[in-house]
């Protein structure tokens, strides 16, 4: 028997759950009555429970025979076994349980969140976070996505508090000193989507979308930050009803900001929970990046109401069906809402992140076997989300958006209120498109990696070749390397679109590259070409020297995504050793006139990576190179917005100031930043919200102890979640060792919330000035952090080891993880170590050449 899958002899169809949380004792009591179907005359029922005490269990079978069950809890297996003396009659029965638990502080299951009210007094609320497998911490249940059931929730709470769950309130009554809130029945859904929030909550005026009221909830005093989130919630709800061609499946839609929240947000049907930064924002004081974050997360979770909630993957190996789709739909919805944001261009940054990890030997296929809960947790990564969304975009563009949408509609209709897997989606898209979807798609979903498409001109012919792209020639050797990675397929079916300029005209050629090599004759008067035109393909392009040079000569003729891909692919190809680094750095000099923020962000990211691996002596030269590349763009934009300037340009200004003031160590920029910030703080000259966050970062980088304490106070007393984040991350920028130590201490002493602390440590590990101190601290405090942080914390934090890009630090990282036998779930650690190896290998291979190149600056 599989220790991770429950037997199907007895299955639930309906839960009537009553919970009574006590925010003073931080405990809860519960009762539930579960309607069950008994398929075989068993005398044992097995379901999930963990960190609960079950006081009583009674089973009534289909013949009305009632018996008390003996309860055994297996904490390691997270299971509860109920044994009855006489075998149960088959058919419909009922199970009644009484249980107890604590409101924990690990931000999972049924947990507590603590915050200060407007007068500074600490307050407690209770919330739930169940995905992937933590519903079992709040009530005993069949905690697997395929055991869908109806949920009827009743809460017995302090009458001064408010309760929110998945559905509308059906009744509110009194029972002694308690208020009894009974919620309407849910649709048939999975356990991981149940939500309960109890506290002193404020709500906005609902907006109706058809019959659905949409509201934002938050702790007292923050309602003024809810308008923007509500607007995108309403807009995306309308968008999805239209796109999916199906009504919203719930009876109301609440979006709740929770002060302590492990993930970014969670798609509980009708009661979506968020960390505050992802929902609450002051539209007039926020940067484009901060606003886009809110729009993205809200649209993403709304997309899940259909993809995930109405139709759910059968098991966690298919989590990409949830997350990749929600990410893809998030782009469509935000793009429709604010086309001027050019959301699909910005998606290039996400695609690039996926291409990075998927270029490792230690990558995994998007769909991957999952057994234990920790393996399910490790599936929520860049491959599931960003690679998944990228290949969906590629498929949508290949089939055509209308055909794709018809297939999606059909899939949802066929599997609503039930479960599905990848094959079901392929079948629906196949019916809609009359195309062999598995033949095209299986290589992208079930195989690791992706192709490097080499593009060359030989005589009058265009030659396209594909091979797998990897950064390193060999898989990494490390202590955890279990078995050899399965051999990747020799090739993919790659939908390649080539835009060819010839005789003063442009034409697009569509090629489905199925073989290792394909040839096409070129038109007369051939001038140049762009492979991956439009930039939707999930592959890299390597042009031959002649083609690359021609492209660089006509950059304004390329779309922003195409320029983005040109830089990103050239960088990756050079990191992989297929192009000299000096050539890449020369290429960056051709982008001084670039005005797209995404292209700049990929350029700046590559400089950050180099900064981590050059020698200290070369660092000032790299700073000079950064100034050489970026200063002209900032000078051209100026420091203050021009009338009629778009939001993206304003954001670019902020990004350039930040890059020049930190990585470029530009003293003039630092001085100007200090001046502008002072003027803003005095109220004399308000600064554009896209520039202000950059000023704060620059002042941290160039700041002293006085500034550090000033920023810490601003962090503590911030008026918006965004302001809080700006000052928090600015604390990580101060280079003084004593201040680095102080910030580190704050990641475990309660000054910084545990939802944020792992990310703070990660950025300290990634930065040259702090990485060694941070690494010593992490080694020493690993166990403490493991105890304090939410479960994803250490995994997110440990990603910072990628920044420890010196040979001796790399050796020490291996030693530590080896000695401590640390497993971060799935292939996570192996991927981090391989990324670290890629960086150190680049340093070993190109160090001297880089030094020689930088000598001119
Ligand atoms: N379903 C996830 C939340 C989640 C993540 C639960 C990991 C359990 C483990 C949710 O839909 C989600 O994807 N949230 C993202 C934000 C989103 C905009 C990419 C997150 O939390 O980062
Ligand atoms: Zn999601």
Q: Does residue 488 carry a pLDDT above 90?
A: no
In tens, the pLDDT along 688-708 reads 999 999 999 999 999 999 999
Please give the Cα distance from 75 to 52 (Å, whole number). 9
The answer to whether residue 834 is catalytic is no
Q: Which atom of ligand 1 is nearest to the CA of 385?
A: 19
Please give the Cα distance from 662 to 611 (Å, whole number). 11
pLDDT for position 479: 74
Distance 536 CA to ligand 1 centre (A): 24
Is residue 480 within 8 A of residue 569, CB to CB? The reply is no
Instruction: Find how far residue 232's CA is from the centre of its chain.
Output: 19
- The burial of 334, by beta-carbon neighbours within 10 Å (0-12 exposed, 13-18 middle, 19 or more buried), is given as buried
pLDDT for position 22: 98
pLDDT for position 490: 65
Q: Does ligand 1 lie within 6 Å of residue 381's CB atom?
A: no
Q: Which whole number is the average pLDDT over 540-553?
A: 96
Distance 50 CA to ligand 1 centre (A): 23
Mean pLDDT of all residues in the chain? 96
Q: How far is CA 302 from CA 201, 299, 320, 339, in A?
A: 21, 5, 16, 19
Distance 236 CA to ligand 1 centre (A): 17
Q: Which atom of ligand 1 is nearest to the CA of 330?
A: 18
pLDDT for position 481: 66
Q: Does ligand 1 lie within 6 Å of residue 131's CB atom?
A: yes
Beta bridge partners, 510, equal 497
Q: Does residue 450 carry a pLDDT above 70?
A: yes
Closest CA to 226 of 271, 261, 193, 274: 274
pLDDT for position 375: 87
In sequence order, what are the residues at sequence separation of 6 or more whose Cβ sits closer than 8 angstroms to the Cβ of residue 752? 728, 746, 760
DSSP summary character for residue 204: P
132 upstream amide cis, omega within 30 of 0: yes
For 113, phi then psi, to 5°, come to -130, 135
Is residue 319 within 8 A of residue 379, CB to CB? The reply is yes
Closest CA to 33 of 126, 150, 144: 150
Q: Whose CA is nearest to atom 20 of ligand 1?
A: 264
In tens, the pLDDT along 714-737 reads 999 999 999 999 999 999 999 999
pLDDT for position 482: 59
pLDDT for position 373: 82
Please give the Cα distance from 421 to 797 (Å, whole number). 32
Closest CA to 653 of 671, 636, 629: 636
Q: Does ligand 1 lie within 6 Å of residue 275's CB atom?
A: no
In tens, the pLDDT along 109-124 reads 999 999 999 899 999 9
Q: Whose CA is nearest to atom 18 of ligand 1?
A: 297
Please give the Cα distance from 635 to 324 (Å, whole number). 40
Helices 721-731 and 692-701 meet at what angle, rounded to 10? 20
- pTM as predicted: 0.98
In tens, the pLDDT along 10-26 reads 999 999 999 999 999 99
Q: Which whole number is the average pLDDT over 390-418?
A: 98
Residue in 78, 290, 301, 830 annotated catalytic:
301
Distance 789 CA to ligand 2 centre (A): 21
For 92, phi then psi, to 5°, come to -80, 130
Please give the Cα distance from 327 to 321 (Å, whole number). 10
What tokens appear for 731 in the block? Answer: 């604390």
pLDDT category of residue 768 using cuts at 50, 70 and 90: very high
In tens, the pLDDT along 147-199 reads 999 999 999 999 999 999 999 999 999 999 999 999 999 999 999 999 999 99
Q: Does residue 489 carry a pLDDT above 80?
A: no
Distance 267 CA to ligand 1 centre (A): 8
pLDDT category of residue 485 using cuts at 50, 70 and 90: low
Strand order in the sheet with 66-68: 66-68, 53-60, 91-102, 27-38, 10-22, 150-157, 178-183, 169-175
Q: What sections of 149-281 are H helices per DSSP?
A: 227-244
In sequence order, what are the residues at sequence separation of 6 or more whose Cβ sits closer than 8 angstroms to the Cβ of residue 443? 489, 491, 492, 493
Q: Whose CA is nearest to atom 1 of ligand 1?
A: 266
Q: Which whole number is the average pLDDT over 358-363?
A: 96
pLDDT for position 478: 75
Could you tell me whether strands 212-218 and 207-209 are parallel, antiparallel, or unpaired per DSSP bridges?
antiparallel
pLDDT for position 510: 94
Q: Which whole number is the average pLDDT over 559-586?
A: 97
Q: Does residue 629 carry a pLDDT above 60?
A: yes
Q: Does ligand 1 lie within 6 Å of residue 724's CB atom?
A: no
């Amino acid at each position: 028997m599989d220790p991770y899958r429950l037997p199907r002899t007895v299955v639930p169809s309906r839960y009537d759950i009553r919970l009574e949380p006590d925010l003073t004792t931080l405990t809860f009591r519960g009762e539930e009555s579960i309607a069950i179907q008994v398929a075989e005359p068993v005398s044992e029922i097995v379901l999930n429970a963990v960190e609960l005490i079950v006081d009583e269990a009674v089973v009534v079978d289909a013949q009305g025979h009632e018996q008390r069950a003996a309860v055994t809890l297996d904490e390691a297996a997270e299971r509860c076994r109920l044994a009855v003396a006489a075998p149960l009659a088959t058919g419909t029965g009922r199970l009644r349980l009484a249980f107890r638990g604590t409101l924990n502080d690990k931000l999972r299951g049924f947990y507590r969140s603590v915050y200060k009210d407007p007068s500074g007094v600490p307050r407690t609320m209770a919330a739930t976070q169940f995905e992937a497998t933590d519903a079992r911490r709040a009530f005993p249940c069949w905690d697997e996505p395929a055991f869908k059931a109806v949920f009827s929730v009743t809460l017995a709470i302090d009458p001064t508090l408010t309760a929110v769950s998945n559905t509308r309130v059906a009744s509110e009554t009194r029972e002694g000193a308690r208020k009894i809130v009974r919620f309407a029945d849910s649709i048939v859904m999975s356990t991981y989507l149940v939500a309960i929030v109890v506290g002193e909550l404020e709500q906005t005026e609902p907006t109706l979308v058809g019959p659905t009221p949409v509201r934002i909830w938050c702790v007292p005093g923050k309602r003024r930050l809810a308008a923007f989130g509500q607007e995108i919630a309403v807009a995306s709800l309308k968008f999805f009803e239209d796109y999916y061609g199906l009504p919203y499946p719930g009876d109301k839609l609440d979006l709740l900001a929770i002060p302590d929240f492990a993930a970014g947000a969670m798609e509980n049907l009708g009661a979506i929970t968020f960390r505050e930064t992802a929902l609450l924002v002051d539209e007039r004081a926020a940067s484009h990046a901060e606003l886009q974050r809110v729009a993205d997360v809200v649209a993403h979770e709304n997309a899940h109401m259909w993809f995930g909630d109405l139709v759910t993957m059968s098991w966690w190996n298919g989590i990409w069906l949830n997350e990749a789709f929600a990410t893809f739909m998030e782009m469509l919805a935000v793009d429709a809402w604010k086309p001027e944001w050019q959301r699909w261009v910005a998606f290039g940054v996400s695609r690039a992140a996926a291409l990075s990890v998927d270029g490792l030997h230690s990558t995994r296929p998007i769909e991957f076997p999952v057994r234990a809960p920790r393996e399910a947790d490790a599936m929520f990564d860049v491959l599931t989300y960003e690679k998944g969304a990228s290949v969906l975009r590629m498929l949508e563009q290949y089939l055509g958006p209308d055909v794709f949408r018809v297939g999606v509609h059909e899939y949802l209709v066929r599997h609503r209120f039930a479960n599905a897997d990848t094959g079901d989606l392929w079948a629906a898209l196949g019916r809609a498109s009359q195309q062999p979807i598995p033949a095209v798609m299986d290589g992208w979903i079930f195989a690791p990696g992706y192709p490097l498409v080499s593009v060359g001109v030989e005589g009058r012919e265009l030659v396209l070749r594909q091979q797998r792209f990897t950064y390193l020639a060999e898989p990494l050797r490390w202590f955890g390397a279990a078995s050899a990675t399965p051999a990747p397929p020799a090739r993919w079916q790659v939908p390649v679109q080539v835009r060819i300029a010839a005789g003063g005209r442009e034409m697009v050629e569509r090629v489905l590259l199925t073989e290792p090599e394909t040839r096409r004759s070129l038109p007369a008067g051939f001038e140049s070409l762009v492979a991956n035109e439009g930039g939707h393909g999930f592959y890299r392009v390597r042009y031959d020297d002649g083609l690359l040079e021609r492209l660089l000569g006509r950059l304004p003729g390329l779309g922003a995504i195409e320029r983005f891909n040109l830089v990103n692919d050239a960088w990756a190809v050079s990191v992989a050793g297929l192009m000299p680094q000096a050539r890449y750095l020369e290429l960056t000099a051709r982008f001084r006139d670039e005005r797209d923020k995404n292209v700049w962000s990929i350029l700046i990211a590559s400089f950050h990576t180099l900064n981590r691996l050059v020698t200290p002596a070369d660092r000032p030269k790299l700073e000079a190179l950064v100034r050489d590349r970026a200063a002209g763009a900032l000078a051209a934009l100026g420091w203050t917005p021009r009338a009629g300037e778009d939001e993206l340009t304003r954001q670019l200004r902020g990004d350039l100031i930040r890059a020049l003031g930190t990585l470029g160590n530009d003293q003039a920029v630092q001085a100007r930043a200090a001046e502008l910030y002072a003027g803003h703080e005095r109220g004399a000259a308000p600064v554009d919200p896209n520039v202000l966050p950059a000023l704060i970062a620059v002042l941290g980088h160039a700041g002293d102890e006085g500034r550090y304490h000033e920023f810490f106070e601003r962090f503590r007393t911030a008026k918006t979640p965004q302001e809080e984040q700006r000052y928090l991350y600015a604390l990580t920028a101060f280079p003084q060792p004593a201040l680095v130590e102080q910030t580190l201490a704050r990641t475990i002493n309660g000054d910084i919330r545990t939802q944020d602390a792992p990310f703070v440590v990660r950025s300290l590990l990634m930065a040259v000035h702090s990485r060694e101190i941070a690494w010593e601290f992490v080694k020493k405090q690993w166990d403490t952090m493991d105890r304090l942080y939410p479960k994803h914390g250490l995994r997110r934090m440990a990603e910072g080891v990628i920044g420890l890009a010196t040979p001796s630090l790399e050796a020490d990282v291996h030693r530590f993880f080896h000695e401590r036998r640390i497993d971060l779930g799935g292939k996570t650690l192996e991927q981090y170590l391989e990324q670290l190896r890629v960086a150190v290998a680049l340093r070993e291979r190109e160090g001297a050449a880089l030094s020689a190149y930088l000598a001119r600056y």
